[in-house]
Chains A and B, each alone.
Chain A
Amino acid sequence: EPEVTQTPSHQVTQMGQEVILRCVPISNHLYFYWYRQILGQKVEFLVSFYNNEISEKSEIFDDQFSVERPDGSNFTLKIRSTKLEDSAMYFCASRVGLSSGNTIYFGEGSWLTVV
């Protein structure tokens, strides 16, 4: 069964450093998402991406965050200058499309620790 894959699985970074989290969505999917889950808390929406542009973002997704689809397969989340409160599990997700697929499929997550 196709899966959303994410790298790295775990990254430790110094506060103020830039971090790039990578995702490979399921190949025929058109909608891509990043969600965040702080330890012990709920899964929070960050951003959605469709047709090579951001289609929606939450208030969490400020100027420190950016997303990119640099080629036909990868989807990246960049945090420009990490803060302690950015420590969380970051999930990438993808979905087929509007008419045929309601379900979003999550990757295994990238656990980011900012020290």
Chain B
Amino acid sequence: GENVEQHPSTLSVQEGDSAVIKCTYSDSASNYFPWYKQELGKRPQLIINIRSNVGEKKDQRIAVTLNKTAKHFSLHITETQPEDSAVYFCAARSRSGTYKYIFGTGTRLKVLA
């Protein structure tokens, strides 16, 4: 079935360092890959997304890369700040069915001041 694996499950970085979170998806029909940030007790908030016809996308300190052949995509956060601390979820949207999202298992990012 459709599955998204996400690593690492927890990540601690010093303020100012970079953080990288990686995901692998199983459904080759997936064509849209959003990343969500979730703070404790809050809704997931979209922070960046990438479509399957693009290899890389950047928005200020956040970038996402996609390797369609390997079915990998990654989130890169540079110059991390304490307010980046949260749980980050990747997701893959299938082109089949009702375009539901399959989420990864989440990465708890802690940025140490």
Binding site for B on A (CB under 8 A): 31, 33, 41-45, 48, 50, 55-56, 91, 95, 98, 102-109, 111
Contacts and interface: CB of A to CB of B under 8 A. Distances in A.
Main SS of the interface on chain A?
Answer: strand
B101 A45 contact: yes
Interface of B: 32, 34, 41-46, 49, 51, 89, 91, 93, 97-106
B98 A50 contact: yes
A78 to B, nearest CB: 20
Given A42-B104, A42-B105, A43-B103, A48 B98 contact: yes
A91 B89 contact: no
27 contacts: A31-B98, A31-B99, A33-B100, A41-B106, A42-B89, A42-B103, A42-B104, A42-B105, A42-B106, A43-B44, A43-B89, A43-B103, A48-B97, A48-B99, A48-B100, A56-B97, A56-B98, A91-B43, A102-B34, A102-B51, A102-B93, A104-B101, A106-B43, A106-B45, A107-B43, A108-B42, A111-B41
Contacts of B44: 43, 91, 106
